[in-house]
């Protein structure tokens, strides 16, 4: 490798020329239409979901059976149009309901059965808009509501929205969470502005860490960070240690600026590598250890000079703008209150964040937390499927990459064969 190589140019060239996986499924049967589906069967247009059966149009959900149009749900069966529900059966148009059965158009119910249009109830049965009825009265009254068409659904939904305003709400959704700010946080402590997060400690801006693997001492990770420790600017990855600026990587440690790498360590600017536990790699090429440390340090200075602060920047940012951003960033040295370089919104850098940046040797951010999160989301394709062929074996496949994509796209078996 030449000492004077242009890392940014070579990284983008390698990214463009490396094959992409058409869609990510694992142990999934008859789930061709969808992406990031694991251990599931007979699912259609589902995304980031696992352990599902006969699920349709479900997103960010787990263990769903015979359910349609649900999001952020877990362990539900025969459910439709539900959000943030857990352990529910035969529930429709519900939100934030747990362990309920045969309820419709309801919000924030726990252990309830046979309820309609209710809000903030616990251990109740045969209620309509929170009014208690006998079983016979309930069954008679419920027949007067017609939600077999869109007009009827809209009428009931509007009535529920007005009714919900009369009942108090919990200020956040947290359980077994200590010293945490954010929403939908469970079994965690010392978390700053985290959302949809479980088993997370001493971290900030963690999003959708909703599996049970745990995330520790990491910032700006998500969606779907699983089993992280000492990580920064990570998306769609699992089991990482001391890593920065990674996308879709697994079982990797001591690596930076990588995409789709697995079971490896000491990678820098690599794409689509697997089983590289020994040695040191820059742009997919093995190098001597001394050369690795010197070159990576020089390269990080060059990235900073060009205003490359995130993995999304490295893939997409106009370098002329990057140089201007870096000059502007240098004028902010030490300022904890900043205006985002992307959207202009004001944001603060908190003390715990500063300590983390010192530990990880990264510059303080110039993008607000929302824009940083949005950048990580943009690294993956939209939730839209296309019919195309594998560019290797020429078999038909359903992919998140359109047929006219500029990338080389492989089916999953060809992809794994390619990266070793």
Residue 240: left if φ>0, alpha if ψ -120 to 50, beta else—which one? Answer: beta
User: pLDDT-based confidence at 214, cuts 50/70/90?
Assistant: confident
CA-based Rg of the chain, rounded to a whole angstrom? 24
Q: Does a cis peptide bond (omega within 30 degrees of 0) precede residue 223?
A: yes
pLDDT given for residue 63 in this prediction: 96
Least Cα distance to 371 among 300, 304, 317 occurs for 317
Tell whether the torsion through CA atoms of 236, 242, 246 and 252 is positive or negative.
negative
For the segment 177-197, the average pLDDT, to the nearest whole number, is: 95
Cα separation of 296 and 5, whole Å?
12
Tell whether the torsion through CA atoms of 89, 92, 95 and 101 is positive or negative.
negative
Question: How many CB atoms are located within 10 Å of the residue 274 CB?
Answer: 16
pLDDT given for residue 419 in this prediction: 76
pLDDT given for residue 368 in this prediction: 97
pLDDT given for residue 380 in this prediction: 84
Contact 378, 312 (CB under 8 A): yes
Residue 26, both tokens: 């694992």
Q: In Å, how far are 75, 106, 183 from 199, measured between CA atoms? A: 19, 29, 14
| pTM, two decimal places | 0.88
SS3 at position 315 = helix
């Amino acid at each position: 490798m030449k000492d004077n190589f242009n890392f940014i140019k070579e990284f983008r060239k390698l990214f463009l020329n490396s094959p992409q996986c058409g869609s990510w499924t694992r142990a999934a049967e008859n789930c061709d239409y969808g992406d990031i589906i694991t251990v599931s069967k007979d699912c259609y247009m589902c995304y980031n979901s696992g352990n599902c059966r006969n699920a349709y149009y479900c997103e960010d959900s787990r263990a769903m059976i015979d359910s349609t149009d649900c999001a952020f749900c877990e362990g539900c069966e025969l459910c439709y149009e539900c959000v943030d529900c857990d352990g529910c059966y035969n529930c429709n148009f519900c939100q934030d309901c747990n362990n309920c059965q045969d309820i419709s158009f309801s919000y924030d119910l726990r252990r309830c059965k046979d309820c309609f249009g209710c809000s903030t109830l616990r251990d109740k049965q045969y209620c309509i808009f929170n009014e208690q009825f006998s079983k016979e009265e309930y069954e008679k009254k419920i027949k007067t509501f017609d939600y077999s068409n869109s007009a009827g659904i809209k009428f009931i939904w509007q009535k529920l929205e007005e009714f919900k305003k009369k009942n108090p709400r919990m200020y956040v959704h947290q359980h077994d969470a200590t010293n945490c700010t954010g929403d939908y946080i469970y079994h965690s402590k010392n978390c700053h502005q985290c959302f949809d997060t479980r088993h997370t400690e001493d971290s900030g801006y963690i999003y959708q860490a909703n599996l049970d693997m745990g995330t520790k001492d990491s910032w700006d990770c998500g969606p779907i960070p699983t089993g992280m420790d000492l990580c920064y600017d990570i998306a769609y990855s699992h089991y990482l240690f001391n890593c920065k600026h990674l996308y879709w990587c697994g079982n990797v440690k001591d690596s930076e600026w990588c995409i789709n790498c697995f079971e490896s360590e000491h990678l820098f600017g690599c794409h689509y590598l697997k089983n590289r536990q020994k040695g040191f790699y820059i742009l997919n090429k093995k190098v001597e250890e001394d050369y690795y440390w010197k070159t990576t340090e020089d390269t990080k200075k060059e990235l900073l000079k060009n205003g490359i602060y995130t993995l999304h920047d490295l893939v997409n940012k106009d370098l002329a703008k990057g140089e201007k951003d870096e000059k502007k960033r240098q004028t902010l040295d030490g300022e904890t209150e900043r205006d985002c370089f992307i959207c202009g919104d004001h944001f603060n850098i908190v003390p715990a964040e500063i300590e983390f940046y010192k530990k990880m040797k990264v510059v303080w951010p110039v993008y607000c937390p929302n824009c940083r999160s949005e950048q990580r989301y943009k690294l993956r394709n939209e939730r839209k499927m296309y019919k195309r062929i594998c560019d290797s074996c020429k078999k038909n496949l359903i992919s998140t990459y359109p047929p006219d994509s500029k990338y080389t796209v492989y089916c999953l078996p060809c992809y794994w064969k390619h990266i070793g």
